[in-house]
């Protein structure tokens, strides 16, 4: 427990009441920050509530793979910066967000003892925003599986149905936010890994434009297709966090585009938007009736709000998926060359499940010429996406082609071709907006008859986060989702209203 006597002496603790866990779970991040700013609660009390929330529900979820409470207490005792989220508990995805002195395991047993020597730029900006970072969330093994399951930590379970996936690869963060452990948590997205778990877990997930958030000091990842941000309960938290982290980073190849501040956009009228509507999955995967129905229901809502919706499809090049797959395989192989440097030895077949090893080997066989030809094909996909934004303000689609699938749906004994076929059958709608550099978001507007969240995806032209945030704020007001809590949640276990 925090040393309250020391807090009194330092004048940092308002001696009125403890924050109850149910009350803690009822606020978004800006709401908690406001309590701290008004001196109604102390950051140490919020940290206690977050740790209690982990104890309360994570045994069922397996979303949080590490906590470093004493480190967080030390930062609180030293005095958190006066940022917009001062004192708000926060979790990092255990992949690219390095926190100095803490392991970044990436769900991979050989990496579990690796401790970062310095903060990544994004983590430094999180700290400057006043966030109280206290732990890491689960990821798939090296983010190469399509569900948050790993040999290092096991399966992360969906709080709406414990037999189902929380998504990939920010599934631990999405489950933690949905269950109320934290009001928001870090995530990143190279092909859908913010939006997919947001859809699975019924939270808000915005993938920003290429280069909007910093990726240093590691350098640009996946040609700028992998972008950093967060999973949140409220739209305003996502916008305010983006304001706190976005901006140029010296030396970054794809650097921050113009735009912002974003928080004021959340309450602004988006105007009458031209909406392209598509339920046809890229490259032919069937779309589940529940996902089609979610889009149809969303169209009705949009039209009631005055927006103009019409069917439209992105005319993608036939080789687009093959080119993207070639690029990803080469990236995986390159990443494992870098991992060998960290490990001090070559990676070996026994380090990986069979599918991942075969993917790495396939990437090793791709020549420089083949990779450059594939990149040209990937650029043609980006051009095809951009052409649609000449006629429409946003594109609406399902986030996923299926509702959340059962755990164990993706075999890591499959061939790389089978593994990527499973990707296209599950999450075909998301990757094209990583390729184009467009901002895109999954919005939790619909739940199916089984009580599972079915996210819908909106995408806009590169740099047009303002359009999406205005629309998201309007949708959140028209059909609020904050009161929807899963069966496994702090709100229900802790007695929140």
Give, for 413, the enclosing helix (H) or strand (E).
none
Tell which residue, 269, 94, 290, has the closest CA to residue 188.
94
Q: Residue 440: what are its φ and ψ, rounded to 5°?
A: -150, 150
- The one catalytic residue in 26, 106, 169, 397 is 169
**Separation CA 45–CA 57 (nearest Å):** 19
Peptide bond into 261 cis (omega under 30): yes
- The one catalytic residue in 26, 93, 173, 442 is 93
Contacts of 85 (CB under 8 A, 6+ apart): 29, 30, 33, 129, 130, 131, 240, 241, 244
Count H helices and E strands in the chain, helices first. 17, 15
Q: Identify the DSSP state of 110.
A: G
169 is catalytic: yes
Give me the DSSP letters along 307-352: -EEEE------TTHHHHHHHHHHHHHHHHHHHHHHHHTS---GGGS
| CA 240, 241, 245, 247 torsion-angle sign | negative
| Alpha-carbon torsion, ordered 487, 491, 494, 497, to 10 deg | -120
**Separation CA 89–CA 158 (nearest Å):** 21
Whether 256 and 212 have beta carbons less than 8 Å apart is answered as: yes
- The one catalytic residue in 26, 132, 173, 193 is 193
Count CB atoms within 10 A of the CB of residue 315.
9
**Separation CA 169–CA 216 (nearest Å):** 20
- Read off the tokens for 94: 């255990």
193 is catalytic: yes
DSSP alpha helices (H): ranges in 344-463?
Answer: 354-364, 368-388, 416-426, 431-436
Q: Give catalytic residues, as residue numbers.
A: 93, 169, 193
């Amino acid at each position: 427990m925090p040393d309250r006597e020391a807090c009194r002496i330092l004048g940092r603790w308002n001696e009125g009441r403890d924050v109850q866990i149910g009350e803690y779970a009822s606020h978004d991040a800006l709401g908690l920050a406001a309590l701290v700013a008004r001196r109604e609660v102390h950051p140490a009390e919020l940290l206690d509530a977050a740790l209690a929330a982990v104890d309360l529900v994570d045994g069922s979820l397996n979303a949080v793979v590490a906590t470093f409470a004493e480190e967080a207490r030390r930062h609180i005792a030293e005095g958190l910066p006066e940022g917009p989220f001062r004192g708000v508990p926060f979790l990092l995805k255990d992949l690219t967000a390095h926190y100095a002195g803490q392991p970044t395991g990436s769900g991979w047993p050989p990496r579990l003892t690796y401790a970062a020597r310095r903060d990544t730029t994004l983590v430094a900006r999180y700290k400057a925003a006043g966030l109280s970072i206290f732990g890491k969330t689960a990821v798939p093994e090296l983010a190469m599986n399509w569900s948050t399951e790993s040999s290092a930590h096991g399966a992360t379970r969906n709080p709406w149905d414990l037999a189902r996936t929380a998504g990939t690869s920010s599934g631990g963060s999405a489950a933690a936010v949905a269950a109320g452990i934290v009001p928001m948590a870090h995530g990143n997205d190279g092909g859908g890994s913010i939006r997919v778990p947001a859809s699975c877990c019924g939270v808000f997930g915005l993938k920003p434009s290429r280069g909007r958030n910093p990726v240093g000091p590691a350098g640009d990842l996946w040609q700028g297709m992998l972008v950093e941000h967060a999973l949140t309960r409220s739209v305003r938290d996502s916008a305010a966090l983006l304001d706190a982290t976005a901006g140029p980073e010296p030396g970054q190849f794809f650097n921050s585009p113009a735009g912002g501040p974003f928080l004021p956009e959340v309450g602004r009228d988006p105007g009458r938007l031209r909406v392209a509507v598509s339920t046809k999955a890229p490259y032919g995967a069937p779309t589940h009736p529940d996902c089609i129905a979610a889009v149809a229901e969303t169209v009705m809502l949009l039209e009631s709000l005055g927006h103009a919706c019409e069917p439209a499809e992105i005319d993608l090049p036939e080789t687009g998926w093959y080119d993207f797959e070639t690029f990803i395989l080469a990236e995986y192989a390159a990443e494992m060359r870098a991992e060998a440097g960290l490990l001090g030895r070559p990676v070996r077949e026994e380090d990986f499940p069979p599918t991942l090893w075969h993917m790495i080997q396939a990437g090793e066989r791709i020549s420089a010429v083949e990779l450059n030809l594939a990149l040209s094909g990937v650029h043609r996909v980006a051009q095809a996406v951009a052409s649609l934004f000449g006629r429409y303000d946003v594109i609406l689609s399902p986030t996923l082609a299926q509702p959340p699938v059962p755990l164990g749906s993706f075999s890591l004994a499959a061939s790389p071709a089978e593994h990527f076929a499973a990707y296209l059958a599950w999450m075909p709608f998301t990757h094209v907006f990583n390729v184009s550099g467009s901002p895109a978001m999954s919005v939790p507007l619909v739940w199916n008859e089984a009580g599972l969240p079915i996210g819908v995806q909106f995408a806009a032209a590169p740099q047009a986060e303002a359009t999406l945030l205005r629309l998201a704020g309007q949708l959140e007001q028209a059909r609020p989702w904050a009161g929807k809590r899963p069966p496994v949640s702090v709100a229900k276990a802790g007695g929140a209203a």
